[in-house]
Structure 1
């Protein structure tokens, strides 16, 4: 495997705080961001689909038109902007569901949201790289239930209402983007288990960044929610030209997390140790 690019996205160093929606407009030409790691991601996807398909793919029967529209949109996008990445054995395999075929083209996970009586729900998903959640638990459930354990996003909260309004008002051709981050202790793409590890050493921490996009499909009206995973060990800050600032910014955001937010992220025990480690590294950088 080639050396992976590090610190591609650093949302913890920006103005958006954790547990906020933080949505911004996205240039449609930037929908997908393939990079040198593409083969590694796609090999992982193929292996997971072969060994544990029921864990990484689910779809309702009525999602098929949206799956087909998603596949067509993704193929058109890749042809226009990344034609070198149009070669995938699964693309012409019509025995596979359209969303499975689409997911085998890109490093991103693909989730199709459809409007139900209960609200916007996960109608189909090719989710190979979950960040501490299970597709089986969230599939075919509305967003308020999907987020029922996320502080500040439970049903009845302002954020929950805003998400539904955003989904309702999202227009075709005007996609949106947001980022999320968490702390894990292993560099692994398939990570359905909790990120908690109270025994790990601070230098073992890995910042897991999710680049998420929302795209409204013009024909079916479904929404394609993409999730692209980036992983950066905290040790990467030491060798990065802007590492001192980035490490300090991560420490500041960690310090700003409330108790329920820390517990949700599995950091209520590790937060202070990790912050001290990041601060120490920053101090050492200042002395150089």
Structure 2
């Protein structure tokens, strides 16, 4: 593998697709969870959160140990094989290049999903099929975007997505997601991207989504602090347990960096203009949407 790519919302291949929402098969499944240059920093922040706030960033049902172990085994096999210049197996340990970390792989690990999350920049979530749909039954979630693990843990997808316009229980979108989860075959990896606007670049954002990021349509002070936050998400079904492994990689960048990449500012401005009232409210952009779109269209201050 060549040197890891620079991470971040403005550097990803196909970034323009981040402003649309759609599920696509990974063109190269071997590149699943590929490390980037923010790996060391993200792992250090994860370790600090796990040490200080373990109950906030890790939860698991007692009956998920087999699925957690399967997920850890999957990552422990995939990462050194796919990215040998970053991950090196050394007996029971996996050493991570560019860091001083070595993660111990133990078949008797009491929290294997948490151990797996110490290998990658991504958050890891396990979903399980129940009579009321797919439920979040285990997660190592260090970088939530305006939601907390406590409020979503052990809840079905429809309840988790209830705040998202058009995805509440009984909607067509909710039914489509359930069907997609049901039909995904083990070995297939699918992904999607999501985006949001934040007033700072922090990764750990468990607080409720603000109803208004901007005080008004002339709030230039907030505009100067804006960051664009992206999530690269993947799904793959575990072949032994049938549970779903959902991964979330977060990156943030100051909004001003968007002008270094041709066409991206215009793409985001168009997406902002197209937001309906419910979407603007969900993203905290009932006010300030036009201010931000105008700024993007004219090329900054």
Give the TM-score normalised by structure 2.
0.86
Give the length in aligned residue pairs: 274
Counterpart among 118, 136, 148 of residue 134 in structure 1: 148
Displacement of 1:205: 1.3
Equivalent residues in 2 for 1:187-266, closer than 5 Å: 187-193=201-207, 194=209, 196-199=212-215, 200-238=221-259, 240=260, 242-243=261-262, 245-266=263-284
Is 2:295 the counterpart of 1:277? yes
Instruction: Assess if the C-alpha contact under 8 Å between 1:91 and 1:102 holds in 2.
Output: no
Corresponding position of 1:25: 25
Contact 1:48–1:128 (CA<8 Å) still a contact in 2? yes
Indicate conservation of the 8 Å contact 1:184/1:207, yes or no: yes
- Contact kept? 2:231, 2:251, Cα under 8 Å: yes
The 2-side partners of 1:161 and 1:10 are apart by: 30
Provide the secondary structure at the position in 1 that maps to 2:299: helix
Query: 1:72-87 to 2 correspondence within 5 Å?
Result: 72-83=73-84, 84-85=86-87, 86-87=94-95
Q: Report the aligned-residue RMSD.
A: 1.9
Secondary structure of the residue aligned to 2:104 is helix
Select the residue among 175, 182, 197 that pairs with 1:183.
197
CA distance in 1, matches of 2:285, 2:15: 16
Alpha carbons 2:19, 2:194 under 8 Å: kept = no
- Kindly tell me: are residues 40 and 96 of structure 1, through their superposed partners in 2, closer, same or farther at Cα, counting changes over 3 Å? farther
In 1, distance between residues paired with 2:180 and 2:140?
23
Q: 1:95 to 1:67 in 2, by over 3 A?
A: closer
Higher helix share: 1
Stretch of structure 1 that moved more, 208-217 or 269-278: 269-278
Q: Secondary structure at the match of 1:209?
A: strand
Q: Give structure 2 stretches of 5+ with no counterpart.
A: 1-5, 88-93, 96-100, 216-220
Q: Distance in 2 between matches of 1:110 and 1:263?
A: 28
Which residue matches 1:34? 35
List gaps (5 residues or longer) in structure 1: none
Q: 1:209 to 1:168 in 2, by over 3 A?
A: same
State the distance in 2 between where 1:219 and 1:28 align: 19
